[in-house]
Chain A
Amino acid sequence: MEATSLLRPGFADPVMHAQETFRMVLDAMSRPGSLHASTVSLEPPRSLHPATAALCLTLLDHETPLWLDPSLESDEVWTFLRFHCGCPLAEERSAAAFAVLDGAPCGLASFAQGTPEYPDTSATLICQVEGLREHGPLILRGPGIRDRASLGLSPFPATFLEEWEGNQARFPRGVDIIWVSGKTIVGLPRTTRLEM
């Protein structure tokens, strides 16, 4: 196949669609646990969910090395990301500003955690899962949440709670997560406390 036929189109309106997508993710990170749906229509490369592609087009560029889960990698994905975002590929997890991952991540500590002086230099993980629903077994508390929120996330490996506790113990260092399922996203910043 020729390279051009591999290239899926980006935003039809790069300026406005990036703005819409950013407001969605800003809202999601500001209100952890709440569901937000992408309104931008996109036909992304097969292994990327539409909301993942929209987030990449909105947030990535040559300044943000990206770690891509090996199971999501393909020529089509890299062509898409390189052409539209121009983001370099991170050789190591720890060198990535952003990561796109398949499912709930393990080994959170292997990603950039930021430093005590500059905790903002940690990675943001975009994690693709099968299902996201409001009101589920996960209870969320913390900034951005009035009292408590609940969330259903599938599949959800029980080990993730432990991973997340580790992440919280490193505060103010630590990663932030954006869960994606299809067009829907949920924010999970490092300050959110999780329990089942």
Chain B
Amino acid sequence: MNAESLEGEDRPGHTGYNYAYLDEQTKRMLRRALLKAVAIPGYQVPFASREMPMPYGWGTGGVQVTASIIGPSDVLKVIDQGADDTTNAVSIRKFFANTAQVTTTTSSERATIIQTRHRVPETALSDGQILVYQVPIPEPLRWLEARESETRKMHALREYGVMHVSLYEDIAHHGRIAKSYDYPVLVEDAYIMRPSPIPKFDNPKLDNCPALQLFGAGRERRVYALPPYTRVVSLDFEDHPFDVETWEESCAICGAQDSFLDEVVTDDKGGRMHVCSDTEYCNKRLAAQGRQEATA
């Protein structure tokens, strides 16, 4: 094909690979899938996932989604467990800096695209931003029904009773819903969706979010999406309303009381401290405190 031979030319900065690694045919296939994902919020669109130069489970879905949307004017932030400096986040950021020649940042505000594994940034997202989630298992009903052919039917018929029963069994046995992360949500009263393994602390941030949220599962070959300002409700019961994790402690570094805290073991005698999982949020607060002290 003539058009194909024009594409994929070498561009400065990398040899032998197309811009943002993926070939144009793959990008088109992914882009079409993403448009359908946006048109049917919470529904999992199958796509022909490619083998990426990083292992499955390391974010191949998120990387493919980012590669199919990113352009040279984007500013990219990558986080893993909320942090910009975890090894896998560093590695993915470098991949795009090399293959797509984009500016990278640790600032949630400056970023046009944020790729994440397991967290939603503490800083509120804004209009025009895109949050790309790396998803290991996209199917919320998977633990209740192993077969894709069955779960497809359950979604088609909105046969979600089994999910409610499973959550209710938790309450019957334990007095509360024992799901802590990857807590299922209902999107626009239609599809039950898996928010990827973010802690349930982050679930409320999905609802009515001004940013576009895209979810990519590479090994399972699915993408799904939440357009901005989409209604996203965490499943619960009237007598057992949804709640999020809370800490008695505050961040040992910046003193935050409103952020998700990682527990750090400081010795083998039960010593613990708590620090923000979102490193950028923590640094920003610390810098602001420094400025206040300087002006005081």
Contacts and interface: CB of A to CB of B under 8 A. Distances in A.
Q: Do chains A and B touch in the complex (CB under 8 A)?
A: yes
Chain A, interface size category, equals 35 or more
A58 B31 contact: yes
Given A29-B38, A59-B28, 17 more contacts: A16-B71, A18-B28, A22-B27, A29-B35, A29-B39, A63-B29, A117-B153, A118-B152, A120-B40, A120-B46, A143-B231, A146-B228, A146-B229, A171-B190, A172-B156, A189-B40, A191-B39
Interface string B186-200: 001011000000000
A10 B5 CA distance: 13
B3 A10 contact: yes
A116 B159 CA distance: 12
Interface in A14-32: 14-16, 18-20, 22-23, 25-27, 29-31
Interface in B1-19: 1-4, 6-9, 11, 18-19
Contacts, number: 128
Given A30-B228, A59-B32, A14 B1 contact: no
Nearest to B154: A117
B66 to A, nearest CB: 12
A143 B208 CA distance: 9
A143 B18 contact: no
B217 to A, nearest CB: 15
List of 3 A-B pairs having minimum Cβ-Cβ separation, nearest first: A116-B156, A144-B227, A189-B39
Interface size class of chain B, counting residues whose CB lies under 8 Å from the partner chain: 35 or more
A90 B18 CA distance: 30
Contacts of B157: 116
Contact of A31 (B3, B18, B227): B227
Interface centre among B18, B152, B191, B210 (most CB of A within 10 A): B152
A14 B3 contact: yes
Interface stretch (A69-77, A81-89, A101-109, A158-166): A81-89
A16 B41 contact: no
Contacts of B69: 19, 22-23, 26
A15 B38 contact: no
A124 interface: yes
Contact of A190 (B39, B72, B156): B39
Residue of B27, B31, B225, B231 with most partner-chain A CB within 10 A:
B31
A86 B3 contact: yes
B274 interface: no
Q: Which of B46, B155, B227 has the most CB of A within 10 A?
A: B227
B19 A26 contact: no
Contacts of B4: 86
A124 B71 CA distance: 24
Nearest to B212: A30
Interface in A129-157: 142-146
B126 to A, nearest CB: 12
A119 B40 contact: yes
B24 A18 contact: yes
28 contacts: A14-B3, A15-B11, A15-B18, A15-B24, A16-B71, A18-B24, A18-B28, A19-B27, A19-B69, A19-B71, A22-B68, A26-B69, A30-B38, A30-B225, A58-B28, A59-B32, A60-B28, A86-B4, A117-B152, A117-B153, A118-B152, A124-B32, A143-B188, A143-B227, A144-B38, A172-B43, A189-B227, A191-B41
A69 B146 CA distance: 44
Contacts of A29: 35, 38-39, 227
A101 B38 CA distance: 22
Nearest to B34: A26
B261 interface: no
B28 to A, nearest CB: 5
B7 A26 contact: no
Contacts of B8: 15
Contacts of A116: 156-157
A190 B227 CA distance: 13
A15 B7 contact: yes
A145 B210 CA distance: 9
A31 B228 contact: yes
Contacts of B38: 26, 29-30, 144, 189
